[in-house]
Amino acid sequence: MKTAFPSKSEITRSWFVLDASEAALGRLASKAAKILMGKHKPTYVSFLDSGDHVIVINADKAILTGNKEQQKMYRRHSGYPGGLTEIRADKMRATRPIKMVEEAIKGMLPKTKMGKQMYRKLKVYAGDKHPHEAQQPTALAAK
């Protein structure tokens, strides 16, 4: 008996909406990454991008547990000597709440070309409105 692999033309992509309000950031990110990779489908294979599109709304209302709000640091480097910039999670939430959710989800995706392809199917919005109603997304519980 042979194992059947889905071809690129057989893969159907759905759209899902995750509401991040009152959801722990890590749990939300792992659920979104699982959907983006396609691990929720019975036709999942690790070498094909069979995942679906994910829309995350209310990104500014995702919660961090424990003392992470004051202790978690987001770092980036300009590439120049002394170019390290550190931002605490509470300041990141105040200025760029979308970036917090995007970085959490991106960190759970593969670090390959296919991971970048999966990341492109992620849409994150700070409010509860999104411009993807035409795709008729299915609502999922983020908790």
Asked if pLDDT for residue 3 goes beyond 90, the answer is no
d(CA 106, CA 29): 8
The CATH number given to whatever domain includes residue 31 is 3.90.1180.10
User: Structurally, how many domains does the chain consist of?
Assistant: 1
Q: pTM for this one?
A: 0.92
What is the pLDDT at residue 101?
97
Does 109 fall in a domain?
A: yes
The predicted-structure confidence for 61-93, as pLDDT tens digits, reads as follows 999 999 999 999 999 999 999 999 999 999 999
Does 42 fall in a domain?
A: yes
Q: Which of 35, 11, 25 is nearest to 99 (CA)?
A: 25
Does 31 fall in a domain?
A: yes
Q: How far is CA 14 from CA 3, 125, 142, in A?
A: 24, 19, 17
Does 77 fall in a domain?
A: no
Does 84 fall in a domain?
A: no
Cα end-to-end span (Å), the chain: 40
Domain that holds residue 15: 8-64+96-140
Q: If pLDDT is split at 50, 70 and 90, which confidence band does 141 have?
A: confident
Q: Which residue has the tokens 């202790």?
A: 71
Q: If pLDDT is split at 50, 70 and 90, which confidence band does 143 have?
A: low
Does 45 fall in a domain?
A: yes
Does 72 fall in a domain?
A: no
Does 104 fall in a domain?
A: yes
d(CA 50, CA 33): 12
The predicted-structure confidence for 8-31, as pLDDT tens digits, reads as follows 888 999 999 999 999 999 999 999
What is the pLDDT at residue 55?
98
